[in-house]
Amino acid sequence: MSLDTALSIARSGLAATQRQLALASQNVANATTAGYTRKTLTLTSQDVNGLALGVRTGEATRTVDQALINERNNRNAASEAYTVRDKLLAGVEAVYGQPTDGNTLGNAINAIQSAFTKLRDAPSDTGIQREALTAANNAVTLFHEAGQAILGAREQAQTGIETEVQAVNDSLRTIAGLTDQIRNLTASGISTADLEDKRDQAIAKLSESLPVQTVKQSDGGVVLLGRNGVNLNLPTHGEDILSVDHAEVGADSYYGATGTLPGVTMGGVDITGQLSGGRLTENIVMRDQVLPRMMAEVDVAASELASRLDAVGLTLFTDASGTVPDPSAGYVAGNELGFSLSIQVNTAVSSDLTKLRDGTHNVTGSATGPSAFTTNPAGGPTGFTTLIDRVLNNALGSEAQTGVAWASFPSTGLGPDGTLSSSLTASRTLTDYAAQVSSSHANTRAEAVAAQTSAAALRDALTARIDAKSSVDSDTEMSNLVKLQNAYAANARVMTTVQSMYDALMAAVR
């Protein structure tokens, strides 16, 4: 081996060591940088026809497990989705409070029952009559608050859909820009490791809104595979990939062919039903399914309260037009839709409290509903209790009349479009049903909190595995720096020795 060859080999060793030192320094400097992965250089022995010519260094590369990253993004998407549900239901739960707070719908109806129980002992006592009216007004207030909280949550969900669609588009533009840079550097043979870190972070952010699986291409490109066949293309000119119209949400608003709530489109095609996971989908599910069902259950409780009292002879609750819902006609056709928002105490009763004792109208009676009833006429007995007994035993009880059970509380045909169902089917009395409504809604949020905690724990466990494989260990890097320092000194010593030999050779030929 010639001295020139030895010198060239030593120089290649120094150059390789310098690049490794620079990369190790970069790793140490970014040890706490979010999303940064440890970079390494690939070293290969260089030779020609068996003649050693030193060392060749490749481009900086990352050590990552794409399958783990994809799964971590999926778990994070689930965590984010449950967080959305938790936040949207927080306002609803705040209306009800805890069962021990005495502010549930069941408690409100119990208060009406207690007031009428007292009234039965003193039917003409105006003070107790006013207590009954106060209990009725308190129930109205709670129904309004519950209905408004649910409607407000639906409005927030619609805003959330619009916000998340924009977030998806912004993330896709960021990913597209980084991908263009990665492709250009890949074509030029330049390392893209740092840009790939940034792209992974952008994809992780995208997956919070709408989860995707990442498939990398040989040219540096990437394919984003969504669930249910919704694969996201990268914008080529900064255009929006997804779109959704703005909309105001009312109690009768719904998504569908004849509804007023918009769907999410991609390329002009509605893909709302194909979306799955992440904050975007959860806002859609809450807007179109969970919250409308909850609203329907509150509406049913209010409607049944009004209609059962009306059926026994006391029109205590109506809507603003004086109408009492008819549950037998269906949720929409029977004017139950949104009744929790419009329920009020009948002005005829609030202006004449004796109607709480005497009744508001006669009842013909039927074999399948309440029995016949005649109101206490003007000048009738002040101790009249027939109407009060019907309220306590029938309207607030489980039977319309002795031996005739009330029809079950509606559990199908609910929601603005009549397509939703409720699992609350076991109750017969108004108090039990209203208590179930409050409990069910509180449990829905509790389940979301528990699921979010579980998903976050899985996400964190996967993040720890990713970090163990890909993050920078400062101790390891410092140990490598010592080794590189020794390697640099050794190569420098070789060069010094070769230089000395050259000097000796030149001196010999002078």
Dist. CA 479–CA 469, nearest whole Å: 18
What are the b/e assignments for 107-120, b being 16+ CB within 10 Å? Answer: bbbbbbbebbebbb
Smallest Cα–Cα separation from 281: which of 82, 25, 51, 26?
A: 82
Smallest Cα–Cα separation from 143: which of 386, 318, 403?
A: 318
Dist. CA 420–CA 299, nearest whole Å: 13
Residue 7 within a domain: yes
Same domain? For 382 and 298 the reply is yes
Dist. CA 276–CA 282, nearest whole Å: 8
Dist. CA 378–CA 400, nearest whole Å: 26
Smallest Cα–Cα separation from 481: which of 23, 119, 72?
A: 23
Residue 264 within a domain: yes
Q: At which of 414, 434, 457 does a domain end? A: 457
Residue 466 within a domain: no
Smallest Cα–Cα separation from 253: which of 245, 244, 262?
A: 262
By CB atoms closer than 10 A (0-12, 13-18, 19+), residue 90 is middle
Same domain? For 235 and 372 the reply is yes
Same domain? For 441 and 479 the reply is no
Dist. CA 375–CA 394, nearest whole Å: 16
Percent of the chain with pLDDT over 90: 68
What helix, strand, coil percent values describe the chain, rounded to 5? 60, 10, 30
Dist. CA 134–CA 136, nearest whole Å: 5
Structural domain total, the chain: 2
Residue 356 within a domain: yes
Instruction: Give the total residue count for the chain.
Output: 510
Same domain? For 452 and 481 the reply is no
Same domain? For 14 and 114 the reply is no
227 is written with which tokens? 């669930």
Residue 82 within a domain: yes
Positions in the chain whose pLDDT score sits under 70: 1-4, 7, 47-50, 52, 54, 97-102, 484, 488, 491, 498, 502, 510
Residue 103 DSSP label: -
CB atoms near residue 294 (< 10 Å): 25
Same domain? For 76 and 13 the reply is no
> Are 288 and 255 within 8 A, CB to CB?
yes
Smallest Cα–Cα separation from 495: which of 75, 162, 54, 45?
A: 54
Report CA torsion sign: 343, 347, 349, 350. Answer: positive
| Contacts for 84 with CB less than 8 Å, ≥ 6 apart | 160, 279, 282, 283, 286
pTM of the predicted structure, to 2 decimals: 0.88
| DSSP reduced 3-state for 469 | helix
Residue 464 within a domain: no
Dist. CA 80–CA 277, nearest whole Å: 9
| DSSP reduced 3-state for 109 | helix
Same domain? For 82 and 35 the reply is no
Residue 219 within a domain: yes
Smallest Cα–Cα separation from 451: which of 326, 222, 277?
A: 277
30 is written with which tokens? 């970014």
Chain-centroid distance of CA 199 in Å reads: 24
Residue 237 within a domain: yes
The whole domain housing 16 covers: 3-63+472-509
Residue tagged 């969900």 (tokens): 157
Q: Which helix (H) or strand (E) holds 34?
A: none
| DSSP reduced 3-state for 305 | helix
Q: Phi/psi zone of residue 35: left (φ > 0), alpha (ψ -120 to 50 degrees), beta? A: left
Q: Which helix (H) or strand (E) holds 336?
A: none
**Angle at Cα 110 formed by Cα 395 and Cα 350, nearest 5°?**
70
Dist. CA 497–CA 483, nearest whole Å: 21
Dist. CA 441–CA 88, nearest whole Å: 12
433 is written with which tokens? 């049903």
Same domain? For 358 and 484 the reply is no
Q: Following DSSP, what letter does each residue of 143-204 receive, concatenated?
A: HHHHHHHHHHHHHHHHHHHHHHHHHHHHHHHHHHHHHHHHHHHHHTT---HHHHHHHHHHHH
394 is written with which tokens? 């029938």
| Contacts for 497 with CB less than 8 Å, ≥ 6 apart | none
Same domain? For 98 and 139 the reply is yes
| Contacts for 447 with CB less than 8 Å, ≥ 6 apart | none
How high is the pLDDT of residue 23?
Answer: 76
Same domain? For 143 and 161 the reply is yes
How high is the pLDDT of residue 3?
Answer: 66
| DSSP reduced 3-state for 345 | strand
Same domain? For 29 and 129 the reply is no
Same domain? For 331 and 354 the reply is yes
| Contacts for 400 with CB less than 8 Å, ≥ 6 apart | 308, 311, 312, 368, 369, 370, 394, 406
